[in-house]
Amino acid sequence: MGTLNVTPDSFSDGGKFFDAASAVAQAQRMVAEGADIIDVGAESTRPGSQRVGAAEQIRRIEPVLPEVARMGAVVSIDTTLSEVARFAIQAGAKIVNDVSAGRDDPEMFALAAAREVGLVLMHMLGEPKTMQQEPRYDDVVAEVRDFLAGRLAAAEAGGVDRRRCIVDAGIGFGKRLEDNLALLRHVEALAELGVPVLCGPSRKRFIGEIAGEPVPANRLGGTIAACLAARRHGAHLFRVHDVAAVVQALAVAEAIEPASPAQRRRPEGPPAGAPR
Ligand code: HH2
């Protein structure tokens, strides 16, 4: 999954793809580099960020998302607002990546159910504005797993087919360094939920903390290491900015040590977001 931030303020590439032409070109590049999914986002969720309303998110994605949908990759929309998701689905998106796991907008599950799209449910402690203010867990892996089990149940109760859901521990979303490391080390605990696991460590602060690298764009080595560790522990999808390098790393890891059949295939049914 290649990250496409049509934002002025994302933590690692804010402003770089804010105009439509550079966003479309970046999507083309990521598809050519081997991305299966392009995740289009119009709101930064970096720690401390301010919310962006639905109208502004739609204004940002409108000249970009339909073009990306025409490229042949599966398009995912990174939003917590059903109004934005509805627009994106109409324009060709097949997956909704909701970092609030359906908590921001009570209509999100009904929309995902009615339009039969894939749905990413991610763990976040609190909200982006405050999530990095002293996050604390007794047992981060169990708490994140239990939270995601609860959101999966809520999505199902809202009519969403569990086979269309994907879970994500939310690396960096209200987590200390040791929490992020424990979650990467224990992907199996999330895989036990029986749906694919998405992992998004790309360029994040925990890599900078370990490596002493303050510039997010210089964190590719750490991104690859985190993706390979998560893969070894059972992750199925990887949300990254640097597609070519991560695709190559995953291909070499696969050649050395093939993933388990359970990791390569969906547990049952069609892939999340597959057309009806
Ligand atoms: N991380 C970011 C945004 N969306 N979605 C999922 N499912 N998992 C993630 O880990 C995740 C996500 C943050 O990264 P980025 O989009 O590059 O930055 P920003 O939120 O500043 O736009």
Q: In terms of Cα–Cα distance, which of 35, 47, 142 is closest to 95?
A: 35
CA of 45 from ligand 1 middle (Å) equals 6
CA of 115 from ligand 1 middle (Å) equals 24
DSSP run (H or E) holding 120 = strand 118-122
Residue with tokens 């050519």: 32
- What is the pLDDT, as a whole number, of residue 86? 98
Would you say 240 and 1 are in contact if contact means Cβ atoms under 8 Å apart?
A: yes
- What is the pLDDT, as a whole number, of residue 276? 35
- What is the pLDDT, as a whole number, of residue 93? 98
- What is the pLDDT, as a whole number, of residue 182? 98
Distance CA 60, CA 275 (A): 25
Task: Report the residue among 46, 205, 206 best suited for mutation to probe ligand 1: largest number of ligand atoms under 8 A from its CB.
Answer: 46
Residue 154: what are its φ and ψ, rounded to 5°?
A: -65, -40
- What is the pLDDT, as a whole number, of residue 47? 87
Residue 163 DSSP class: G
- What is the pLDDT, as a whole number, of residue 262? 76
What is the DSSP code string of 213-227?
---GGG-HHHHHHHH
- The SS3 assignment for 273 reads coil
Would you say 262 and 187 are in contact if contact means Cβ atoms under 8 Å apart?
A: no
Nearest CA to ligand 1 atom 1: 200
Question: Is 204 among the residues known to form the active site?
Answer: yes
- What is the pLDDT, as a whole number, of residue 271? 47
Query: Who's near 167: CB < 8 A, 6+ residues apart?
Result: 120, 121, 122, 148, 151, 152, 190, 193, 195, 196, 197, 198
Question: Is 239 among the residues known to form the active site?
Answer: yes
Task: Report the residue among 30, 39, 45 best suited for mutation to probe ligand 1: largest number of ligand atoms under 8 A from its CB.
Answer: 45
pLDDT < 50 stretches in the chain: 267-271, 273-276
Distances 218 to 205, 221, 222, 238 between C-alpha atoms, Å: 11, 8, 9, 18
- pTM, to two decimals: 0.94
Evaluated on CA atoms 153, 240, 79, 213, the torsion sign reads positive
Tokens of 34: 């081997």
Nearest CA to ligand 1 atom 21: 10
Cβ < 6 A, ligand 1 pocket = 3, 5, 7, 10-12, 41, 44-46, 78, 97, 99, 120, 122, 168, 170-171, 198, 200, 239
Would you say 68 and 77 are in contact if contact means Cβ atoms under 8 Å apart?
A: no
CA of 161 from ligand 1 middle (Å) equals 24
Atom of ligand 1 nearest to the CA of 120: 7
CATH code 3.20.20.20 for 2-256? yes
- Tens-place pLDDT, residues 133-179: 888 999 999 999 999 999 999 999 999 999 999 999 999 999 999 99
Q: Which of 46, 86, 204, 231 is catalytic?
A: 204
- What is the pLDDT, as a whole number, of residue 275? 42
- What is the pLDDT, as a whole number, of residue 240? 98
Would you say 214 and 204 are in contact if contact means Cβ atoms under 8 Å apart?
A: no
- What is the pLDDT, as a whole number, of residue 227? 98
- What is the pLDDT, as a whole number, of residue 267? 46
- Tens-place pLDDT, residues 113-126: 999 999 999 999 98
